[in-house]
Amino acid sequence: MSDAIQHVLVPGTFDPITYGHMDVVRRARRICPHVTVAVAESLGKNGVGTTFSLEERVALAREALDGLDGVDVLPFTGLLVDFAREVDAQGVVKGLRAMTDFEYELQQADLNYRLNPRLESMFVMSAPEYGYLSSSVVRQLASMGGDVSDFVPACVTEALHERFM
């Protein structure tokens, strides 16, 4: 089948990457032979910017995902649909934790479809153990001196510790 999806993006800010993000990447890889973790610049995230720079977020994601065959990590700026064209990705995979995620992601999928009808949107439900997990919760916990080692890989735990000490 000539139009079978061979390459998908798992986009996000990944500020920082969590075990929940990593679960979505692994599951996307089960669906498709080539997965690109697309780390968004997101200069205005929540009106304050990101905790880690784009370069730091890419480096942390690469270290966290090291050893996963068929997975690469790339930064991007601008529109996701343009980046998908640049890297020849045919789909986008997003994880959903709750109905609020669904509403937001459905809007994004509809917009992406308007901009590129050939870019397929796919959703995977969060594994129950990660349904509560978000980068913002991890950042908040770390900023208050909490232990985040159950939520993020060691490289991220160390980076958060250095950032908030």
3-state secondary structure 68-127: CCCEEEEEECCCHHHHHHHHCCCEEEEEECCHHHHHHHHHHHHHHHHHCCCCEEEEEECC
Q: Does 45 participate in catalysis according to the annotation?
A: yes
Residue 19 maps to a domain: yes
With beta carbons less than 8 A apart as the criterion, state whether 148 and 138 touch: yes
**CATH code, 107:** 3.40.50.620
Whole-angstrom Cα distance, residue 157 to residue 20?
A: 15
Residue 36 maps to a domain: yes
Residue 136 maps to a domain: no
- Nearest partner of 24 among 60, 59, 64, judged by Cα: 64
Residue from 27, 57, 94, 135 carrying the catalytic annotation: 135
Tell if the pTM clears 0.85, that is, is over it. yes
Q: Does 21 participate in catalysis according to the annotation?
A: yes
Residue from 7, 26, 62, 97 carrying the catalytic annotation: 97
Q: What is the pLDDT of residues 63-87, one digit of tens each?
A: 999 999 999 999 999 999 999 999 9
For the residues 95-119, what does the mean pLDDT come to? 91
Residue 160 maps to a domain: no
For residue 117, give every residue at least 6 positions away whose Cβ sits within 8 Å of its Cβ, in sequence order, or none.
Answer: none
Residue 48 maps to a domain: yes
Q: Tokens representing 61? A: 């994601």
Q: Does 136 participate in catalysis according to the annotation?
A: no
Q: What is the pLDDT of residues 111-162, one digit of tens each?
A: 999 999 999 999 999 899 998 899 999 999 999 999 999 999 999 999 999 9
Residue type, 119: L
Q: Does 97 participate in catalysis according to the annotation?
A: yes
Residue from 7, 26, 45, 163 carrying the catalytic annotation: 45
Average pLDDT over the chain, rounded to an integer: 93
Task: Band the pLDDT of 2: cuts 50, 70, 90.
Answer: low
Instruction: Tell me which residue has tokens 């999928």.
Output: 109
- Whether residue 44 has pLDDT greater than 80: no
Residue 69 maps to a domain: yes
Residue 148 maps to a domain: no
Report CA torsion sign: 83, 61, 93, 4: positive
Whole-angstrom Cα distance, residue 119 to residue 127?
A: 25
- The count of structural domains within the chain is 1
DSSP-based three-state secondary structure for 69: coil
For the residues 7-24, what does the mean pLDDT come to? 97
Instruction: Tell me which residue has tokens 């270290």.
Output: 63
Residue from 21, 27, 34, 139 carrying the catalytic annotation: 21
DSSP-based three-state secondary structure for 150: coil
Give me the domain span that covers residue 63. Answer: 7-131
Residue type, 57: R
Residue 71 maps to a domain: yes
